[in-house]
Amino acid sequence: MEVGQMQRRLVDYTKSLFMEGFLDAQFLQLQQLQDESNPDFVVEVVSLFFDDSEKLLNDLTMALDQPNVDFKKVDAHVHQLKGSSSSIGAQRVKNACIAFRSFCEEQNIDATLRCLQQVKQEYYLVKNKLETMLRVKQQIVAAGGSIPMIELGF
């Protein structure tokens, strides 16, 4: 595939992630922080998000699997995941965390377990989509092209 074609594919794919609500404007701001002095900035931040999220999802699973659930602890983990998601613009994960926190306040175990599954689903979806986007960017650079700036006209 030629560079111009890959660049168009990247722009279209990225726009679809915004249109489908996977990402919000925070992700654009994150991309704007990347420059020649730190060309891997977005990859590094997204990788940290993946690592932190995996740990938090495991912590949440273990916390909700206890006979006496400590909802304050669960809420703290969800709050941290919400902040992490928000900082990279993972909108659907952030929104799922908001619902999750309300059920923690109610101490509703069944609803929190359902929310955990929803958060995991949204996380793995956005992870897959971000990995695809980053892979296309790597292919463009490897082919000698530059990464086009994404501008959304919402």
Q: State the Cα angle at 46 between 43 and 112, rounded to 5°.
A: 165
Domain CATH code at residue 69: 1.20.120.160
pLDDT tens digits, residue range 39-54? 889 999 999 999 999 9
Q: What is the model's pTM?
A: 0.93
pLDDT score recorded for residue 35: 84
A 10 A CB-CB count for 13 gives 14
Residue 98, domain member (yes or no) = yes
Enclosing domain of residue 105: 2-143
pLDDT score recorded for residue 153: 64
Residue 150, domain member (yes or no) = no
Cα separation, 123 vs 78, in Å, equals: 13
Residue 115, domain member (yes or no) = yes
Query: Could you list the pLDDT tens digit for every one of the 154 residues in the chain?
Result: 799 999 999 999 999 999 999 999 999 999 989 888 888 899 999 999 999 999 999 999 999 999 999 999 999 999 999 999 999 999 999 999 999 999 999 999 999 999 999 999 999 999 999 999 999 999 999 999 988 887 776 5
Neighbouring residues of 10: CB distance < 8 A, sequence distance ≥ 6:
133, 136, 137, 140, 147, 148
Residue 153, domain member (yes or no) = no
Residue 152, domain member (yes or no) = no
Residue 151, domain member (yes or no) = no
Q: Could you tell me what percent of the chain has a pLDDT over 90?
A: 86
Overall number of domains in the chain: 1
Residue 154, domain member (yes or no) = no
